[in-house]
Chain A
Amino acid sequence: AQSVTQPDIHITVSEGASLELRCNYSYGATPYLFWYVQSPGQGLQLLLKYFSGDTLVQGIKGFEAEFKRSQSSFNLRKPSVHWSDAAEYFCAMRPGRETSGSRLTFGEGTQLTVNP
């Protein structure tokens, strides 16, 4: 079975500080990995994705994530957080094969609070 774990339910950072949100996955092969962000009452917006190749991927809004196979991790980072980054962040995965369908498995989410 596949699963995604986000160990931090809630993180608080000061505006301008760096951010790292953790994501670990459980899957027997290389998965496809995604980070989505959700603002209150809204749908999910894709921040970035990893399919293959370069393990450091760049996304929108200044976010990046690094795939580490040895640690089964796909942590999200941002060097300087803005107040508008306050939201809930979800890590998700899909089996990394063509015939897997579109079913995403999500982590529990990490709520980010940004202090002024």
Chain B
Amino acid sequence: KAGVTQTPRYLIKTRGQQVTLSCSPISGHRSVSWYQQTPGQGLQFLFEYFSETQRNKGNFPGRFSGRQFSNSRSEMNVSTLELGDSALYLCASSPWTGGKETQYFGPGTRLLVL
């Protein structure tokens, strides 16, 4: 099976712009989670989607949003970008939500905000 794919892999934006990142989960996986990784804050949970519904949300401002489509692909959007949004954004998928499920991570999208 193909792994989790994320597009684009690299992105440069300027402050105030918005950005959309995409994640395609492993075939058959219905849960998709997003994480932000920065040197200062480490790995932080953004949100989880399962069957097109947001199941969990981390402690991030409303500028961060996401959605999931019927084929389980997910997008996250960041509006009004700030310098501090520069990070590696990781997507993870699992067959189900919670329980004895393992999450598999994609390679990430590296976002640089200038």
Classify the interface of chain B: helix, strand, loop or mixed: strand
Instruction: Kindly supply a per-residue 1/0 record for chain B positions 48-85, scoring 1 wherever the CB is within 8 Å of any chain A CB and 0 otherwise.
Output: 10100001101000000000000000000000000000
Given contacts A44-B90, A104-B45, A108-B42, contact A97 B102 (CB under 8 A): no
Which secondary structure dominates where chain A touches chain B?
Answer: loop
CB-defined A-B contacts under 8 Å, sample of 9: A43-B105, A92-B43, A94-B98, A99-B98, A101-B48, A102-B31, A102-B55, A103-B48, A104-B45
Q: Which residue of A lies closest to B110 (CB)?
A: A41
User: CB < 8 Å: which of A34, A100, A105 contacts B98?
Assistant: A100
Using CB atoms and an 8 Å cutoff, list the residues of chain A in contact with chain B: 32, 34, 36, 41-46, 49, 51-52, 90, 92, 94, 97-109
**Are A103 and B45 in contact, CB atoms less than 8 angstroms apart?**
yes
> Is B102 a contact of A46 with CB atoms below 8 Å?
yes
Q: Is the CB of B90 within 8 A of A32?
A: no
Select which of A46, A52, A90, A102 is within 8 A of B97 by beta carbon.
Answer: A102
